[in-house]
């Protein structure tokens, strides 16, 4: 299959630097941001049918239209056009602080062509084809590199019959919710123009959250020590080797999710439980339980599941704005013996334990963890033995299938984990109402075992494929000759 040809790489600056109505110049990073310094950029992509009746001239004008609308969008998100500033404070403790300067250095926009690749080549394969990784910009870049590379990069790749739009954002700056907010704003401006966005609209709040009077600022971290402690970073940033994992996306319709949720709740219903298992807890329990069951591990082995808990809704003093633009997640870990997970009523047991762990993240505990990290910043590798440790990311609360640049809804949504150290689940909203997609990064053998597991696949549905859009937005129509 032919490779990817890069047509151009452009730096896109904010059009007018209106700074969202604020005199925004520099943003101090807090512990929630800094915990991701050694992680890779967050990456998400949406795949569209190519607008009907396209011509090479129309595509060129469409690319320019996307650049122009991105520039307008950066007016409302000035940190995305900025860079990190890493300040050395010296002294006996040899510490550093990290902030974002809103200097309008610009975001990166890559226009590429995959001349022989079709939508079917991507979505009809049981596995995500490896060539999809080449559609993502800043592949394998580390967040800490944000002082010298853009904090936001976009790559628009023309396929034979589609457009693959991939975005990479520095994870210290945003997690999935603000990432989605930005992409949706850009799509709305692209589709409807700036008149759709009020000029005085405050789309995002960039000021970092700190508990009042509790933490010395800026937060200072022993950066050299932290980097040396990460064996994967010794030598040069981004040089570590990825494990040979495969990727497969499983689709779960609303009806099947409801059935799993009801089953999980029934398994733990003893008349005394105070927590109700959610659909997401039931579904991730179903996937993790199936993966452990298919490995035939020793029943006394202990396995670990890592997930994120959103702190925002749990904080009231001071409250976190609903439009807060930054990570607000806490790491959570759930360990369980294999026999408890795969045994009788294991689905409900695991989901209920997850529910209890989430409930333990009270405002008091979240603040204690936040303050403790500021006093003793550490970034241990969040990993464990392959097959006995699973991480999860993304969120079904952000529906990337709702993003519309003017060509209709996406055909597919993809993530990219360039160098996963362990098996991982990426959970997103599905194309159909109340459906979910789970992208699994694991060994090929494990993914084949899941596909052959009758109990697991009973909950899985075929991948829905939206039909091509019948028309295009008026703004994009203006680009047509």
Neighbours of 306 (CB within 10 A): 19
Structure tokens of 110? Answer: 């890559």
Exposure string over 237-254, b if 16+ CB within 10 A, otherwise e: bbebeeeebbbbbbbbbe
pLDDT of residue 236: 39
Region 249-269: mean pLDDT is 95
Query: Distances in Å between the alpha carbon of 416 and those of 40, 42, 288, 342?
Result: 10, 8, 20, 30
Region 306-329: mean pLDDT is 93
Which is more confidently placed, 272 or 43? Answer: 43
Structure tokens of 467? Answer: 């039909």
Structure tokens of 122? Answer: 């991507």
Phi, psi for residue 108 in degrees, rounded to 5: -100, 135
Region 449-471: mean pLDDT is 84
Contacts of 321 by beta carbon, 8 Å cutoff, 6+ apart: 205
Q: How confident is the model at residue 91 (pLDDT cuts 50, 70, 90)?
A: confident
User: In this predicted model, what pLDDT tens digit does every residue of 356-373 receive, in sequence order?
Assistant: 999 999 999 999 999 999
**Position 131 pLDDT exceeds 90:** yes
pLDDT of residue 422: 86
pLDDT of residue 224: 84
**Position 353 pLDDT exceeds 90:** yes
**Position 239 pLDDT exceeds 50:** no
Angle at which helices 279-293 and 444-451 pack, to 10 degrees? Answer: 110
- The pLDDT mean for the chain works out to 88
**41/175 Cα distance (integer angstroms):** 10
**218/386 Cα distance (integer angstroms):** 37
**405/196 Cα distance (integer angstroms):** 13
Percent of the chain with pLDDT over 70: 88
pLDDT of residue 94: 85
**42/152 Cα distance (integer angstroms):** 10
User: In this predicted model, what pLDDT tens digit does every residue of 10-57 receive, in sequence order?
Assistant: 999 998 755 444 457 899 999 999 999 999 999 999 999 987 656 777
pLDDT of residue 49: 92
Region 106-117: mean pLDDT is 96
**328/171 Cα distance (integer angstroms):** 11
Which is more confidently placed, 1 or 452? Answer: 452
Region 457-475: mean pLDDT is 71
Torsion angle of C-alpha atoms 72, 77, 79, 82, degrees rounded to 10: -10
pLDDT of residue 475: 55
Taking the model in full, what pTM does it have? 0.91
Which is more confidently placed, 227 or 353? Answer: 353
Q: How confident is the model at residue 195 (pLDDT cuts 50, 70, 90)?
A: confident
| Domains detected in the chain | 5-241 (3.30.559.10), 246-398+412-457 (3.30.559.10)
**Position 333 pLDDT exceeds 90:** yes
User: In this predicted model, what pLDDT tens digit does every residue of 164-173 receive, in sequence order?
Assistant: 999 999 999 9
Region 399-405: mean pLDDT is 94
**169/163 Cα distance (integer angstroms):** 20
Region 319-329: mean pLDDT is 94
Residue given tokens 């009806």 in the structure block: 255
Region 234-257: mean pLDDT is 73
Q: How confident is the model at residue 481 (pLDDT cuts 50, 70, 90)?
A: very low
pLDDT of residue 435: 96
Residue given tokens 């020793």 in the structure block: 298
Please report the DSSP string for 155-216 in residue order.
Answer: EEEE-SSEEEEEEEE-TTT--HHHHHHHHHHHHHHHHH-GGGS-TT----B-SPP--TTTS-
Region 78-100: mean pLDDT is 91
**405/109 Cα distance (integer angstroms):** 16
User: In this predicted model, what pLDDT tens digit does every residue of 300-315 receive, in sequence order?
Assistant: 999 999 999 999 899 9
Region 471-478: mean pLDDT is 51
Percent of the chain with pLDDT over 90: 72
Structure tokens of 287? Answer: 């996937």
**41/150 Cα distance (integer angstroms):** 11
User: In this predicted model, what pLDDT tens digit does every residue of 74-84 receive, in sequence order?
Assistant: 999 999 999 99
**204/462 Cα distance (integer angstroms):** 37
């Amino acid at each position: 299959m032919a490779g990817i040809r890069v047509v151009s790489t452009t730096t896109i600056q904010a059009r007018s630097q209106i700074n969202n109505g604020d005199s925004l110049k520099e943003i101090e990073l807090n512990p929630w941001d800094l915990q991701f310094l050694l992680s890779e950029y967050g990456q998400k992509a949406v795949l569209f049918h190519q607008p009907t009746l396209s011509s090479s001239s129309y595509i060129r004008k469409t690319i320019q239209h996307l650049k122009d609308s991105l520039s307008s969008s950066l007016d409302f998100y000035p940190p995305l056009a900025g860079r990190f500033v890493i300040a050395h404070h010296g002294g006996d403790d040899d510490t550093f602080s990290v902030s974002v300067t809103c200097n309008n250095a610009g975001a990166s926009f890559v226009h590429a062509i995959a001349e022989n690749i079709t939508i079917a080549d991507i979505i009809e394969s049981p596995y995500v084809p490896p060539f999809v990784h080449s559609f993502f910009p800043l592949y394998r870049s580390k967040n800490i590199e944000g002082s010298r590379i853009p904090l936001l990069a976009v790559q628009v790749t023309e396929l034979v019959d589609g457009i693959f739009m991939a975005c990479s954002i520095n994870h210290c700056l945003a997690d999935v919710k603000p990432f989605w907010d930005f992409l949706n704003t850009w799509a709305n401006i692209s589709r409807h123009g700036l008149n759709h966005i009020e000029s005085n609209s405050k789309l995002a709040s960039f000021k970092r959250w700190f508990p009042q009077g509790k933490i010395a600022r800026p937060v200072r971290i022993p950066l050299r020590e932290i980097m040396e402690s990460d064996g994967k970073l010794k030598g040069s940033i981004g040089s570590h080797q990825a494990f040979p994992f495969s990727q497969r996306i499983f689709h779960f319709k609303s009806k099947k999710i409801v059935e799993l949720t009801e089953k999980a709740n029934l398994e733990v219903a003893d008349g005394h439980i105070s927590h109700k298992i959610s659909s997401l807890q039931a579904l991730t329990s179903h996937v993790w339980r199936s993966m452990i069951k298919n490995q035939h591990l020793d029943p006394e082995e202990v396995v670990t599941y890592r997930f994120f808990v959103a702190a925002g809704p749990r904080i009231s003093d001071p409250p976190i704005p609903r439009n807060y633009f930054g990570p607000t997640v806490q790491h959570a870990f759930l360990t369980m013996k294999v026999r408890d997970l795969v045994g009788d009523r294991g689905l409900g047991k695991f989901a209920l334990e997850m529910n209890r762990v989430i409930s333990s993240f009270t405002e008091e505990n979240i603040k204690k963890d936040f303050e403790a990290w500021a006093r003793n910043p550490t970034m241990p590798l969040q990993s464990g033995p392959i097959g006995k440790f699973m991480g999860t990311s993304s969120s079904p609360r952000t529906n990337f299938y709702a993003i519309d640049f003017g060509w209709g809804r996406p055909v597919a949504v993809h993530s990219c984990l360039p160098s996963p150290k362990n098996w991982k689940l990426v959970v997103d909203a599905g194309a159909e109402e109340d459906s979910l997609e789970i992208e699994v990064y694991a060994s090929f053998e494990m993914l084949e075992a899941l596909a052959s597991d009758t109990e697991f696949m009973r909950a899985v549905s075929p991948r829905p494929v939206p039909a091509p859009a019948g028309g295009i937005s008026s703004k994009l129509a203006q680009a047509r000759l």
